[in-house]
Structure 1
Amino acid sequence: MGARETDVYDVVGVGFGPSNLSLAVAIQEHNSSTSDRPLTAAFFERQEAFGWHRNMLLPAATMQIPFLKDIATFRNPASRYSFVAYLHASGRLAGFVNNQTFFPTRREFHQYLEWVAANFTDQVSYGSEVVGLRLSGQGAGAGAPAHLEVEVGGGAGRQRNSVRARNVVVSTGLVPRMPEGVLGDDRVWHSSEFLTRFRGLKPADLRAVAVVGAGQSAAEITRFVHDTAPHAQVYSVIPSYGYALADDTPFANQVFDPAAVDDYYFGTDRARQAFWDYHTNTNYSVVDDDVIRDLYRRSYDEQVNGARRLHFLNLTRVGEVKRAGDETRVLLMNGERRELEVDLCVFATGYHGMEPAGVLGDLAPYCLRDEAGRLRVERDYRLVTGPELPGGIYLQGGTEHTHGLSSSLLSNIAVRSGEIAESIVSRHRIERELEQALPVEPAGKAR
């Protein structure tokens, strides 16, 4: 796709993961159902091709949300981009139904996302990273800029360029988090790098592997390494007393319903805090029941057989990781200090939330903040900005403080993208009506 500098797009998306892919679907379906001027859109993605957590597409790893929480169904059950439509197009609808599960494998869901993304290649510039936003200098009237300008950095062999937009939707994803003082290298990884790096090793040569973390990714990597490195001692380093169970019971799951966003956004400070106090165990540092039971069963069987390879180091934290030649030494702290020598240490220690400040660039001063210094966000995910800023800046992520637990998750992705698209359409309609209502100046009269 080649976005043209001379064009002014109604929507420019920063990032093209599942969230902005869902937005692209919502925009296309709006355009096909209205006689109004269609919305124009362009997306910029720094990856060279569509991909979503590729390095955690482990064998047999399943989604933690039902297939109906795809990128379209909750907004439009009749969408041609639903997961069911994908299964039908792939000839696997009957097979999936016979499998009797609500939860597809992560690999299959990724294939579904790729299938949808293939319909929007004409709107996406891959290998293109947005490096900042600024005011367009091509506006008219009172010397004020009319549009937002999106600056796109040049990758290998690419020139830096910019495009103009009436609205920008930021969805740059989460940022991998490592413990303070720990630096990654060829044998110290974050889980976001896992499969790519693991494929570069010979698993049969591994003697000891440490996996640090208490969440789903940590548990899945521990199981995967135990399966694929037959001679390795596998150490699961857990800050809690074993893995905690993810609460996916019906009442708890309501915190991810679209209606819960209103309850959070318009709720009192006390009500908002209750969401976090009572329901973080639905998503954060928790593991699915079947994975917990599988790992415990493996550990117990090894005890019975007298040949232990799987070790759970509970109530333990990593204080330091040191490299000495080919040796990697992990300093463990559990009331006492001990060193563990490993061939590989994987940190499944989560992510920092999306921080849009780097993308906002020159426009950051126009974006208003609350008393805690956080960006103010309207219910439709639009940043609250000063009146001098034209257009709108929307966030897909980084809104946990205003919209609650589902802000960066797939659960509410279809409805959230639909609300953003509808907000953009409604604001454009209001602007057109205002323009039509303005009195026409007599010919020759200067303003």
Structure 2
Amino acid sequence: MATPVHDVVGIGFGPSNLALAVALEEEYGAGVDAVFFEKQPAFGWHRGMLLDGATMQVHFLKDLVTMRNPASRYSFLSYLHAKDRMVDFINGKTMFPSRLEFHDYLEWAAAAFEGRVRYGSEVVAVRPHDAATLEVVVRRDDELHTCLTRNLVIGVGLEPVLPDGVRQGERIWHTEDLLTRLDGLTGTPERLVVLGAGQSAAEAVEHLHGRFPETEVCAVFARYGYSPADDSPFANRIFDPAAAEHYFEASDEVKRMLFDYSRNTNYSVVDLDLIDELYRRSYAEKVAGRERLRILNVSRLDGVRPGAGGVRVDVTFLPTGETAALEADALVCATGYRERNPIDLLGEAGEHCRKGAEGRLVVERDYRVATGPEAAWAVYLQGATEHTHGIASSLLSMTAVRTGEIVRSIAGRDARVTQEA
């Protein structure tokens, strides 16, 4: 039996490649043969942080499609209409749906593409088959399968980061697993420690403080307080589609400047309403004389020692160097994520990809990895493009526009796709 040759193979099926699947359907119809491989057994996006009351940090119009195709039947507004909640949503006077509702929207959209997705499937190797196609090796149910593709789109998301020397364990968690880990706890914890100063850290602190009314929650970070995210209208221009173009064309010096200027829109910052809520709780407890919410600011983690049924956390107050040992039921690391290195996944195919400064892949304006002249196949990145396209390039804000550009690039390079569509 001949190995199937696909027009597009997507690695991962989170929001980015889901948006790609939509764009392929809307732009070129059924003429494009696309398949997606996803490790998870079903669609899911940051399920461990679907906290009650947590809201999205992006406008609902920056969904999977609207910035590319406002008339799409896969928009968030179409979802609200299908669920008979549009009037209720409008009456709520909000531009930022809850994270739980937005996840439901993503699941609703993903259900339309179940025939194109192979869940429970992990891509373990990518190698050139010939000048025009790549061979993709997939593990599923402990068996290996192969397929061929003219275009590979990598959308594997981010990987969680822990502090140096700290490993996940029974009582040491990353926030990506927060709800799952909490469901496994027995009894009421006496103390929980949250490390980090960003949005996920503040959300975890708020959730733990409300979920366990008798538990002490310690927030540990090196700043004096949580820093507010700059989501003002002018600052938000960094998330405009044109910003990726500007960043791509800029010199390395200007790229560094733009990135540094924009950090406070996305990194280690917190929504101001959440900061105010945590401060209100902290102050109210001081007035009442019982402080369950402890803000251990200007402090760093200096040691973690797991023990029976808990963990010992050493925290140093930086101005004096004084260290305190906290006996806790769990340490929650809200220490962020980093881009996965696509070179690790590309394997043999990566040898044909051009690399630039610091060994990173050279990425063209259309998010295609630059290759040698011997390669007619193409690899596109949905992520790991901050160094070429800017801070917003891999975020949800840019997903609809980015996937539209990728689809147009694929069709422009492959006349067969254009003709069949």
TM-score, normalized by length of structure 2? 0.96
Q: For the pair shown, which has the larger CA radius of gyration, 1 or 2? A: 1
Equivalent in the alignment of 1:66: 59
Equivalent in the alignment of 1:428: 414
Equivalent in the alignment of 1:140: none
Any unmatched runs of 5+ in structure 1? 137-143, 434-447
The alpha-carbon deviation at position 269 of structure 1 amounts to 2.1
Code of the aligned partner of 1:277 = D
SS in 2 for 1:225: helix
Equivalent position to 1:371, from 345, 357, 361 = 357
Equivalent in the alignment of 1:128: 121
Equivalent position to 1:17, from 1, 14, 18 = 14
Decide whether the 8 Å contact of 2:198 with 2:226 is kept in 1.
yes
Please give the per-residue CA displacement for 1:230-274, whole angstroms capped at 9, x wherever unaligned. 111110001211100000000000000100001100012232122
Equivalent in the alignment of 1:302: 285
Equivalent in the alignment of 2:33: 40
Equivalent in the alignment of 1:171: 155
Equivalent in the alignment of 1:209: 192
Decide whether the 8 Å contact of 1:5 with 1:161 is kept in 2.
no
Question: Which deviates more from structure 2 when the two are superposed, residues 320-329 or residues 230-239?
Answer: 320-329
Decide whether the 8 Å contact of 1:256 with 1:411 is kept in 2.
yes
Question: Which deviates more from structure 2 when the two are superposed, residues 95-104 or residues 370-379?
Answer: 370-379
CA distance in 2, matches of 1:135, 1:239: 47
Equivalence map 1:134-213=2 (5 Å): 134-136=127-129, 144-154=130-140, 157-202=141-186, 205-213=188-196
CA distance in 1, matches of 2:292, 2:241: 44
The aligned length equals 416
CA distance in 1, matches of 2:303, 2:37: 38
Code of the aligned partner of 1:131 = V
Cα 1:243–1:261 change in 2 (3 A) is same
Matched, 1:78 2:78: no
Equivalent in the alignment of 2:241: 258
The alpha-carbon deviation at position 6 of structure 1 amounts to 2.6
The alpha-carbon deviation at position 429 of structure 1 amounts to 2.2
Please give the per-residue CA displacement for 1:374-414, whole angstroms capped at 9, x wherever unaligned. 11000000000111123100000001000001122100000
Code of the aligned partner of 1:28 = E
Decide whether the 8 Å contact of 2:7 with 2:417 is kept in 1.
no
SS in 1 for 2:143: coil
Decide whether the 8 Å contact of 1:5 with 1:162 is kept in 2.
no
SS in 2 for 1:372: helix
The alpha-carbon deviation at position 15 of structure 1 amounts to 0.3
CA distance in 1, matches of 2:394, 2:131: 32
Equivalent in the alignment of 1:338: 324
Decide whether the 8 Å contact of 2:3 with 2:146 is kept in 1.
no
Equivalent in the alignment of 1:30: 27
Equivalent in the alignment of 2:273: 290
Equivalent in the alignment of 1:237: 220
SS in 2 for 1:119: helix
Decide whether the 8 Å contact of 2:363 with 2:369 is kept in 1.
yes
The alpha-carbon deviation at position 195 of structure 1 amounts to 0.5
Percent pairwise identity: 51
TM-score, normalized by length of structure 1? 0.91
Code of the aligned partner of 2:274 = V
SS in 2 for 1:339: strand
Equivalent position to 1:110, from 103, 106, 122 = 103
Matched, 1:98 2:98: no
SS in 2 for 1:291: helix
CA distance in 2, matches of 1:128, 1:389: 26
Any unmatched runs of 5+ in structure 2? none
SS in 2 for 1:71: coil
RMSD, aligned α-carbons: 1.5
The alpha-carbon deviation at position 40 of structure 1 amounts to 1.0
Cα 1:264–1:5 change in 2 (3 A) is farther
The alpha-carbon deviation at position 289 of structure 1 amounts to 0.7
SS in 2 for 1:408: coil
